[in-house]
Structure 1
Amino acid sequence: GNVESSFEQILTVRSEVGAKMNRLELTEKKLDIQINNVKELLSYNEDVDMAEISMEINMAENVYISSLMTGAKIIQPTLVEFLR
Structure 2
Amino acid sequence: MLDTSTSSTLELLFNDGLGAPRKITVKDPIESLSAEVAQAAMDKIVETDIFIDEGIDVYAVAEGARYVTRSVQDIYKAEV
The TM-score by the shorter chain falls in which range?
A: under 0.3
Greater per-residue strand proportion: 2
Normalised TM-score (structure 2): 0.24
Normalised TM-score (structure 1): 0.23
Higher CA-based Rg: 1
